Amino acid sequence: MNAPNFETLIYQADQQYAEIHFNRPHRLNAVVEQFYTELLAALSLAGQDPAIRAVILTGVGRAFCVGADLKEHGAGQRTAYQRRQYLQLGNDVCEKIFRLSKPVVAAINGYALGAGAEMAVSCDFVLMAESAQIGFPEVSIGTSVGGGVTQILPRLVGLRKARELLFQGTRINGTEAQRIGLVTQVCPDAELLDRARRFALELAGKAPVSMAVVKNLLNHATAQDFATQLQLELDGVFSCTVTEDWREGVNAFAGKRAPQFKGY
């Protein structure tokens, strides 16, 4: 597929993964309404492209995303309804990342604050540069978190640590974020994007149908009782066994070779 011309993003499709670069470096990639609508479109594009099997989110310049562009918001005149619609867009983006059938990797290259941290938490994996910082300043500035953070964050770091991060709004570096389970890997700054690309390629080599099934099962596990989850897993296994990729996986294992999955 041809890469679209976004104004607030750079979309690149390379090999079997897509890179979405947040591209408002003059505002440290702070979010505005256009950013959200373009990011939803970019995620949909990656989700619908059968050649794409993983997605990387990262930022241009010194930040991943520092949250809402308060300067632009302060200059505008929104009705209460328009404010609600803008906030809904933020939730829609995080939900899109969370529910995308393909794994999403956040490569945090600088500050990930507020909405930036919310998007990162929604991703399946987070790689973080050594100099980067992540934090949730919402309570400190009189607002609240969104994007499913109050459900996802405690699952990652535990309820007490989630309270600490959200109530105090403390920024933490990659080393601490990895220690508490918030981050998958910490990388030297210069190696971050290369590491994220290698990680995405490794994910892209797995069976796409199986990946989508397991992601969905993991995402919704806490909402089900054990008996229901067992049945959903059974359905998931059966769904995989009717694909060509299941046969390829079996044959590759028997032949002691790497499988070549097609996504069906």
Is 233 among the residues known to form the active site?
no
> What is the rounded distance in angstroms from the CA atom of residue 14 to the CA atom of residue 257?
25
For every residue of the chain, which 3-state class applies, written as one string? CCCCCCCCEEEEEECCEEEEEECCHHHCCCECHHHHHHHHHHHHHHHHCCCCCEEEEEECCCEEECCECHHHHHHCCCCHHHHHHHHHHHHHHHHHHHHCCCCEEEEECCEEECHHHHHHHHCCEEEEECCCEEECCHHHHCCCCCCCHHHHHHHHHCHHHHHHHHHHCCCEEHHHHHHCCCCCEEECHHHHHHHHHHHHHHHHCCCHHHHHHHHHHHHCHHHCCHHHHHHHHHHHHHHHHCCHHHHHHHHHHHCCCCCCCCCC
Catalytic residue among 118, 164, 233, 244: 118
Is 118 among the residues known to form the active site?
yes
Residues paired with residue 104 on neighbouring β-strands, in sequence order: 55
Catalytic residue among 19, 33, 38, 138: 138
Catalytic residue IDs: 118, 138
